[in-house]
C-alpha cells in the first residue's frame, strides 16, 4: 500500500500532474468543521468530481489508498510575499525602519504573489494566509495587513485592507520609547485620533496627538470596527489592559496574537469577544512576558470558549506556515479534538476574514501528521501546481536521479 | 566576613597543592581544568518487557526485551534476567536510545532571553578559540528540562557563529544540575566551533575584517599557520608560553579536539575540506549544511558528517537553497547524516523533525526504514561527538540512555513517556516526575495552582 502511494505521489510531481485522475479508495473526507467520514472520491486535476460511499475506479485513474481529503489550510500569521530572504537588504518589506508613515502602510502594496515561498509553502497544503507587516521604529503600528490566496496569481490579494497590525508587549514598549505605559498611551491616543478624525484633522493636517492624517484615516476603519485590530501581546496583565481598551471602545474588533499567558485570563478573553491566534508548541519562558507559557494554553482557551486559530509563531521566518499542521498536531497531543485543531488552521481563520474560496487538498495521510503531504490541490476549481523551486532542487540532486549530465544541465 | 574567609582559604591552598602535585599538567591543562563531576542518579536494575526496539544499529525494528543493570544496557532482545530484577511490561511501546542534539545553545542563550543572558558568543574578535561554551552555560535554563521531556539525554553546546574560530564546544549529559561540571559528559572530547560564510564577514566587516568570504579563508589559513608553529614548539617540550587561543587549535591538529563547523553552502564546504587537507586536520561535522545534499559523495569521501534541519531555510541568502530532503539525501549518498535543532523549541521534538525529513526522502524515491532513519537522532550525533562507545545506541555495555515512547516516535502524536539517563528515570509522564529549574519556582507554583 505504501509503495503504491509513494509511486503515485512521484508521478504527480511530474509536469503531467494536471492531467491526472485519482481514484481515492476509502478516503477520509474532512468537512469544514473538521469532522471525518469515509468515502470513495474521484479527483480530476485536483478537483473532486465524484464522491460516494462506494464508487468504482474510472478507466485510466490512479487508485490511491490511505488518503485524506480536506479544504486548504489557512495560515493565520505570516510574512509570505513580503520578503525573499529573512535577513535585511532590499527586497525585505516586512518592516519599515525609517518611514514617516505607519497604519497607512499596506502589506498589499508590498505583497509579491510571485515570491518563491508562495509555491514552496503551498506544497504543505496551505492555500490562504494572513500577511502581516511588523512594526518599525517609532510606532507601535506596523501597518495594514492583507489576506491572500497562494495561487501565485496577480489577483491573489483577496482582502487588501484586512486588519490593522499593532505591536504591544515588549516589542511595542521598544517602539513607543521604553515602557508599557508609553505604548498604551500611544495606543489610546491613536484610537482617539482615529475616532475624532473629522474633528481633529478637518482644519489641521497635523491635528492628531500621535497619528498623521493619512494614518488616522487608515486606522479609522479599525476603530469603527469595520476591520479587526490584530495585536501582538503575551503577558496576561497586558491582555487585561487590552480588555480595558475594548471595554472603553466597544466597536473595536480585537484579535490578539501570541497570547502565551492567555490561559490565566481565558474567561475574560472569551467574555469580551476577543479572538486569539496562538502557537500550541510555545512552552518556554523565552521572555519575562511569556514566563507563564505552557503547552496546554490551548486547552484553557478551548474550555473558556475562546474563538482561536493556530499558527507557527516560532523561529522560521517567511517559511513558517509550511509547518502549520505540525503545530496544530501539537494541540491534539494536549487533548484538543482533531476536528477543532484542523478547524483552527482552516475554517476558523477563513471565517474571520470572510474567505469563501472553495479549496481541495488530497493528502497521502492524516494532514496533522508530520509524515503526510499533499498530492493534489485546487483553489476555486483551478488545479494548483505541485511543483516548486524546492522540489526542482530536490529533483536535480536526487540520489536516485540517473541523469549523469553535469548538474546545471539536468 | 571573618566567618567566610577561613572557608575560602583552605580551598585555594588545596588548589595550589594539587597544581604542585602534578607538574605534568602544565602542558595539558585543558584536560584537567573544569573536570566533570557528573554522577548518575540512583537507578534500579530493570528489564523492559515486550518492547518495540529501535536500537540505533539495526535497520529493523525488533520486538523483545531490554535489560538494564547498574545503569548500563546488559542485553537488547533477549537474554538471562537475574532473579529479583524489576520487570516493566512496556506493552509494545517503542524503546529507543536517548536523543542526542549536536547543536544546541541551551544554557548559553537560555530562557528568558534577556541581554544579560547572552553568553553564547564572544563577539569581540574573529578569532576567539580561547573561550569555552561551558563557561557561558547557565544550568538553570528551563530549556534543559523541556528538552529532557522530549527525549534529549545528551547535547552539545557550541559558541555562536560570529567568529571564524568561535571557541570550544562542550558535550553535556542532560542531567538536572546546579553546575555545568555536573552535566559535563565524562571524557567526551572538546570540540572547536568554526564558522563559514555570512556571519563572520557581516559581524567583522566594519571591525577590521574579515569582510568577505576571501577574508574568511585567509583568516583560517593565517591562524592554522600560527597553530602549527605553536604545536611544533609544544611538541619539542621544555619552556614555552602557554597560549589558550593557539592551544585549542594545536589540539585540533593533534586530533584531540573535534572541529564542528557552521557552513551552509556546498561550494564553501568544499573550500573548507581543502583547507583541512592543507593543514592536515579533520572536519568532523558541518553544521546547518543546508546545501550538503549537493555534495553528498564528497562528504562521504572525506568522512565528514553533516548536521542539518528538516525544513529550515530562506532566513538568509546562504540558506536559500534549503530542501526538505537534505538529511535523507546525504544519508543515501553514504555520508554520515544527522538532525540538529539549534533551537530551544525544536530540540523538544527532534523525533518529529526526523519523521518529516524521513517521509519526504521516501516520497522522493528513497527507501529508508524508520530504524535506519533513527540513526540521525542518536547514533550519528554520538559518532560526530566522539562518544559513540558510550551512548547513542542500545547495545550491551553502553550507558542506559533510554526513551520509552507513548505512540510512534515517527508521528506528530508520539511523545516520550519515560526518559532514562544511565538507567535512572529522570522524566516519567505517568508519575509526573520531571525536573524543575530554579527559575520556574514561584511562577510554576502559580501555574500548577490554576490547573
Which CATH number belongs to the domain containing residue A44 in this structure? Answer: 2.30.40
What band does A315 get if pLDDT is binned at 50, 70 and 90?
confident
A281 lies within 8 A of chain B by CB = yes
Q: Which among A295, A299, A286, A199 has a CA at the least distance from the CA of A235?
A: A286
A110 and A11 in a common domain: no
Cell numbers standing for residue B356? 518529516
A48 and A180 in a common domain: no
What average pLDDT score do residues A225-231 get? 98
CA–CA dist B281, B304 (Å, integer): 12
Determine, yes or no, domain membership for A256.
yes
A77 and A67 in a common domain: no
**Distance from B407 to chain A by nearest Cα, in Å?**
11
Average pLDDT, chain B: 93
A246 and A167 in a common domain: yes
Per-domain boundaries in chain B: 98-369
Chain B positions touching A369 (Cβ under 8 A) are: 411-413
What band does A137 get if pLDDT is binned at 50, 70 and 90?
confident
Determine, yes or no, domain membership for A217.
yes
Q: How many structural domains is chain A composed of?
A: 2
Confidence at residue B20, expressed as pLDDT on a 0 to 100 scale: 38
**Distance from B182 to chain A by nearest Cα, in Å?**
23
Chain B positions touching A284 (Cβ under 8 A) are: 111, 142-143, 146, 344-345
Q: Considering only residues 1 to 20 of chain B, which have any Cβ-Cβ distance to chain A shorter than 8 Å?
A: none
Mind listing the pLDDT tens digit for each residue in B89-141? Answer: 999 999 999 999 999 999 999 999 999 999 999 999 999 999 999 999 999 99
**What is the count of residue pairs from A and B with beta carbons less than 8 Å apart?**
138
Determine, yes or no, domain membership for A13.
yes
Average pLDDT, chain A: 94
A323 lies within 8 A of chain B by CB = yes
A137 and A96 in a common domain: yes
A296 and A232 in a common domain: yes
Q: Are strands A126-131 and A229-233 parallel, antiparallel or unpaired?
A: unpaired
Is A6 in contact with B362 (Cβ distance < 8 A)?
Answer: yes
Region for B143 from its dihedrals, namely left if φ exceeds 0, alpha if ψ lies in -120 to 50, beta otherwise: alpha
Closest chain A CA to residue B297: A399
A298 and A397 in a common domain: no
Confidence at residue B173, expressed as pLDDT on a 0 to 100 scale: 98
A248 lies within 8 A of chain B by CB = no
Determine, yes or no, domain membership for A259.
yes
Is A10 in contact with B320 (Cβ distance < 8 A)?
Answer: no
Q: Which among A187, A192, A87 has a CA at the least distance from the CA of A142?
A: A187
**Distance from B445 to chain A by nearest Cα, in Å?**
10
Helices (H), B208-321: 213-236, 244-253, 266-279, 296-302
Closest chain B CA to residue A327: B412
B350, B412, B450: best to mutate for the A interface, most A CBs within 10 A: B412
B297, B310, B311, B366: best to mutate for the A interface, most A CBs within 10 A: B311
Q: Which among A224, A98, A231 has a CA at the least distance from the CA of A164?
A: A231
Task: Examine the pLDDT at A6 and tell me if it is beyond 60.
Answer: no
Determine, yes or no, domain membership for A363.
no
Confidence at residue B31, expressed as pLDDT on a 0 to 100 scale: 53
Mind listing the pLDDT tens digit for each residue in A388-408? Answer: 999 999 999 999 999 999 999
Chain A positions touching B346 (Cβ under 8 A) are: 314
**Distance from B282 to chain A by nearest Cα, in Å?**
26
B356 lies within 8 A of chain A by CB = yes
Chain B positions touching A399 (Cβ under 8 A) are: 296, 329, 332-333, 366
A113 and A192 in a common domain: yes
Determine, yes or no, domain membership for A370.
no
List the single residue in A263, A319, A370 with the smallest CB-CB distance to B314. A319
Percent share of chain A, pLDDT over 90: 90
**Distance from A152 to chain B by nearest Cα, in Å?**
18
Is A285 in contact with B362 (Cβ distance < 8 A)?
Answer: no
What band does B32 get if pLDDT is binned at 50, 70 and 90?
confident
Closest chain B CA to residue A332: B413
Cell numbers standing for residue A181? 505605559
A314 and A230 in a common domain: yes
Question: How does DSSP assign B50-100, residue by residue?
Answer: EEEE--SS-SS-EEEEEEEETTEEEEEES----TT-EEEE-TT-EEEEPEE
What average pLDDT score do residues A279-297 get? 97
Chain A positions touching B365 (Cβ under 8 A) are: 6, 10, 398, 400
ipTM of the complex: 0.95
Task: Examine the pLDDT at A241 and tell me if it is beyond 80.
Answer: yes
Top-level class of domain B98-369: alpha beta
A337 and A289 in a common domain: yes
Cell numbers standing for residue B298? 564528497
Is B359 in contact with A372 (Cβ distance < 8 A)?
Answer: yes
Q: Which among B176, B152, B180, B153 has a CA at the least distance from the CA of B168?
A: B180
Which structural domain, as residue segments, surrounds residue A161? 73-356
What band does B22 get if pLDDT is binned at 50, 70 and 90?
very low
A214 lies within 8 A of chain B by CB = no
Confidence at residue A20, expressed as pLDDT on a 0 to 100 scale: 87
Cell numbers standing for residue A119? 509555491
Count of other CB atoms within 10 angstroms of residue A21:
15
- Exposure string of A186-205, with b = 16+ CB inside 10 Å and e = fewer, is bbbebbbbbbbbeebbeeee
A329 and A207 in a common domain: yes
List the single residue in B114, B323, B346 with the smallest CB-CB distance to A394. B323
A175 and A64 in a common domain: no
CATH of the domain at A152: 3.20.20.140
Amino acid at each position: 500500500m505504501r509503495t503504491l502511494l509513494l509511486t503515485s505521489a512521484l508521478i504527480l510531481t511530474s509536469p503531467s500532474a494536471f492531467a491526472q485522475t485519482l481514484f481515492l479508495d476509502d478516503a477520509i473526507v474532512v468537512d469544514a468543521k473538521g469532522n471525518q467520514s469515509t468515502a470513495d472520491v474521484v479527483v480530476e486535476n485536483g478537483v473532486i468530481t465524484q464522491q460516494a460511499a462506494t464508487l468504482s475506479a474510472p478507466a485510466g485513474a490512479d487508485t490511491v489508498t490511505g488518503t485524506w481529503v480536506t479544504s486548504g489550510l489557512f495560515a493565520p500569521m505570516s510574512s509570505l510575499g513580503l520578503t525573499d530572504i529573512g535577513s535585511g537588504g532590499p527586497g525585505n518589506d516586512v518592516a519599515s525602519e525609517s518611514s514617516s508613515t505607519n497604519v497607512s502602510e499596506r502589506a498589499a502594496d508590498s505583497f509579491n504573489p510571485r515570491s518563491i515561498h508562495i509555491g514552496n509553502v503551498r506544497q504543505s497544503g496551505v492555500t490562504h494566509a494572513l500577511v502581516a507587516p511588523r512594526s518599525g521604529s517609532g510606532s507601535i503600528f506596523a501597518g495594514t495587513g492583507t489576506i491572500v490566496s497562494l495561487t501565485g496569481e496577480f489577483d491573489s490579494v483577496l482582502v487588501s485592507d484586512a486588519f490593522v497590525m499593532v505591536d504591544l508587549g515588549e516589542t511595542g514598549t521598544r517602539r513607543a520609547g521604553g515602557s508599557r505605559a508609553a505604548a498604551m498611551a500611544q495606543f489610546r491616543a491613536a484610537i482617539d485620533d482615529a475616532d475624532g478624525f473629522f474633528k481633529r484633522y478637518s482644519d489641521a493636517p497635523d491635528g492628531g496627538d500621535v497619528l498623521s492624517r493619512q494614518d488616522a484615516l487608515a486606522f479609522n476603519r479599525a476603530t469603527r470596527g469595520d476591520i479587526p485590530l490584530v495585536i501582538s501581546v503575551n503577558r496576561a496583565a497586558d491582555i487585561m489592559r487590552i480588555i480595558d481598551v475594548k471595554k472603553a471602545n466597544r466597536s473595536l474588533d480585537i484579535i490578539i496574537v501570541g497570547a502565551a499567558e492567555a490561559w490565566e485570563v481565558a474567561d475574560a478573553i472569551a467574555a469580551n469577544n476577543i479572538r486569539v491566534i496562538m502557537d500550541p508548541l510555545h512552552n518556554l519562558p523565552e521572555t519575562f512576558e511569556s514566563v507563564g507559557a505552557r503547552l496546554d494554553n490551548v486547552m484553557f482557551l478551548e474550555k473558556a470558549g475562546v474563538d482561536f486559530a493556530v499558527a507557527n509563531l516560532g523561529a522560521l521566518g517567511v517559511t513558517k506556515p509550511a509547518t502549520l499542521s505540525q503545530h496544530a498536531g501539537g494541540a491534539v497531543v494536549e487533548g484538543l479534538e482533531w476536528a477543532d485543531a484542523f478547524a483552527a488552521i482552516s475554517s476558523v481563520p477563513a471565517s474571520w476574514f470572510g474567505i469563501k474560496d472553495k479549496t481541495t487538498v488530497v493528502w497521502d495521510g492524516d494532514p496533522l501528521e508530520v509524515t503526510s503531504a499533499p498530492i493534489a490541490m485546487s483553489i476555486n476549481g483551478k488545479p494548483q501546481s505541485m511543483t516548486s523551486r524546492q522540489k526542482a532542487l530536490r529533483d536535480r540532486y536526487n540520489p536516485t536521479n540517473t541523469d549523469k549530465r553535469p548538474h546545471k544541465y539536468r | 566576613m571573618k566567618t567566610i574567609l577561613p572557608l575560602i582559604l583552605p580551598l585555594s591552598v588545596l588548589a595550589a597543592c594539587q597544581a604542585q602535585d602534578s607538574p605534568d599538567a602544565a602542558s595539558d591543562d585543558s584536560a584537567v581544568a573544569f573536570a566533570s563531576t557528573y554522577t548518575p542518579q540512583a537507578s534500579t536494575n530493570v528489564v523492559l518487557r515486550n518492547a518495540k526496539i529501535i536500537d540505533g544499529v539495526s535497520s529493523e525494528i525488533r520486538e523483545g526485551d531490554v535489560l538494564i543493570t547498574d545503569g548500563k544496557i546488559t542485553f537488547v532482545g533477549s537474554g538471562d534476567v537475574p532473579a529479583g530484577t524489576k520487570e516493566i511490561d512496556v506493552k509494545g511501546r517503542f524503546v529507543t536510545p536517548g536523543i542526542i542534539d549536536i547543536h544546541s545553545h541551551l544554557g548559553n542563550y537560555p530562557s528568558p532571553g534577556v541581554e544579560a543572558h547572552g553568553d553564547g558568543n564572544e563577539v569581540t574578535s574573529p578569532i576567539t578559540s580561547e573561550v569555552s561554551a561551558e563557561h557561558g552555560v547557565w544550568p538553570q535554563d528551563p530549556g534543559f528540562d523541556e528538552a529532557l521531556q522530549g527525549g534529549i539525554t545528551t547535547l552539545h553546546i557550541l559558541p555562536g557563529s560570529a567568529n571564524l574560530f568561535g571557541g570550544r564546544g562542550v558535550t553535556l549529559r542532560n542531567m538536572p544540575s546546579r553546575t555545568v561540571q555536573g552535566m559535563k559528559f565524562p571524557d567526551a572530547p572538546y570540540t572547536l566551533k568554526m564558522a563559514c560564510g555570512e556571519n563572520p564577514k557581516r559581524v567583522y566587516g566594519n571591525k577590521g575584517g574579515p569582510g568577505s568570504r576571501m577574508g574568511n579563508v585567509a583568516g583560517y589559513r593565517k591562524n592554522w599557520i600560527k597553530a602549527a608553529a605553536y604545536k611544533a614548539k609544544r611538541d619539542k617540550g621544555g619552556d614555552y608560553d602557554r597560549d589558550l587561543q593557539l592551544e585549542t587549535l594545536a589540539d585540533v591538529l593533534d586530533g584531540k579536539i573535534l572541529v564542528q563547523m557552521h557552513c551552509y553552502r556546498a561550494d564553501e564546504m568544499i573550500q573548507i575540506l581543502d583547507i583541512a587537507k592543507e593543514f592536515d586536520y579533520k572536519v568532523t561535522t558541518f553544521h546547518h549544511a543546508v546545501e550538503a545534499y549537493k555534495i553528498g559523495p564528497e562528504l562521504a569521501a572525506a568522512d565528514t558528517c553533516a548536521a542539518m534541519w528538516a525544513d529550515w531555510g530562506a532566513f538568509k541568502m546562504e540558506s536559500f537553497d534549503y530542501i526538505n530532503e537534505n538529511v535523507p539525501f546525504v544519508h543515501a549518498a553514504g555520508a554520515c547524516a544527522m538532525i540538529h535543532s539549534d533551537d530551544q523549541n525544536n530540540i523538544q521534538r527532534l523525533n518529529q523533525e526526523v519523521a518529516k525529513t524521513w517521509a519526504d526522502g521516501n516520497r522522493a524515491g528513497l527507501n529508508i526504514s524508520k530504524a535506519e532513519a533513527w540513526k540521525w537522532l542518536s547514533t550519528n550525533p554520538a559518532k560526530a561527538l566522539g562518544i559513540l562507545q558510550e551512548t547513542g545506541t542500545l547495545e550491551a555495555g553502553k550507558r542506559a540512555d533510554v526513551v520509552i515512547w507513548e505512540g510512534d516516535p515517527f508521528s506528530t502524536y508520539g511523545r516520550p513517556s519515560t526518559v532514562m539517563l544511565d538507567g535512572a528515570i529522570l522524566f516519567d509522564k505517568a508519575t509526573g516526575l520531571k525536573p524543575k529549574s530554579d527559575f520556574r519556582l514561584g511562577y510554576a507554583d502559580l501555574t500548577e495552582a490554576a490547573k
